[in-house]
Chain A
Amino acid sequence: GAGVSQTPSNKVTEKGKYVELRCDPISGHTALYWYRQSLGQGPEFLIYFQGTGAADDSGLPNDRFFAVRPEGSVSTLKIQRTERGDSAMYLCASSLNGNEQFFGPGTRLTVL
C-alpha cells in the first residue's frame, strides 16, 4: 500500500497480558516514530528509529515498553504486563526527510 499501515486496528486484552503492535511504514522511509494518544489529548512521542536502531527512546514510559525494527522497515511495539493505564491509541509515523511525518490509522488498545 501507499501509506503507513498498522495492525491490528483494535486490540482488547486483559490486565497483565503481553501485546504486540505492528507498523509497516511507507516504502523507503528510513525514519519511524511511535506515538501514544489518550482521549482528549494530542499524540505523545514514544520512540524514534533511524534505520534499524532506536535513536531516541526517551518517550517510553517505563521498561514494560519496548520496540524493535530489525530490518529497518517494519516495527513492532511490545508491551509487557499491560495495565489499564496503557489503554490508548498507538500511532506510528514514518518520514523520508524527517520534516514531514505521515501517520498510520493507529491501533486502539484497550486493557480490561
Chain B
Amino acid sequence: TQLLEQSPQFLSIQEGENLTVYCNSSSVFSSLQWYRQEPGEGPVLLVTVVTGGEVKKLKRLTFQFGDARKDSSLHITAAQPGDTGLYLCAGAPRRSGGSNYKLTFGKGTLLTVNP
C-alpha cells in the first residue's frame, strides 16, 4: 500500500507570511498532483509534476517534486486569505502497464490565512 504523509496537518498564519507544506512517501510515484479543496466542494487541481527534481510555479505558489519522485513540497509566498483551504497531494503509482492512474491521497494540510 502506498501512503502519502502530509505535514503539517494544520497551519494558521497571518496574511503576508510565507509557508511550506510537505508531502512524503516511501514509494515512488509516476506523477504527483496538488489539489486545493474548500469545505463542501470537490478538490481543484493546482498542478501536476512528473519529472524528478521538477519545479513548477503558479503565481505565488511553487511546487517541487523530489529527485527520487517520492516526495513533494508546496511553497506559498505572501499568503492571502483567499489561499485558505485544504491542500491535498495525490500520487499516481508507477505502472508496469496499462493506463490506470488511480490516485493515492494524503490527508491534507488545512491552511488558514488570517487577515
Measured CB to CB, the residues of A under 8 A from B are 4, 6, 31, 33, 35, 40-45, 48, 50, 55-56, 59, 91, 93, 95, 98-106, 108
Contacts and interface: CB of A to CB of B under 8 A. Distances in A.
B68 interface: no
Counting chain B CB atoms within 10 Å of each CB, which of A42, A55, A56 scores highest?
A42
A33 B108 contact: no
Interface of B: 4, 31, 33, 35, 40-45, 48, 50, 88, 90, 92, 98-108
- If over half of B's interface residues share one DSSP class (helix, strand or loop), that class is named, otherwise mixed; here it is loop
Nearest to A91: B42
A98 B42 CA distance: 18
Contacts of B48: 99-100
17 contacts: A35-B103, A42-B90, A42-B106, A43-B43, A43-B88, A45-B103, A50-B100, A55-B98, A55-B100, A56-B102, A59-B102, A98-B92, A99-B48, A100-B48, A103-B45, A105-B41, A106-B41
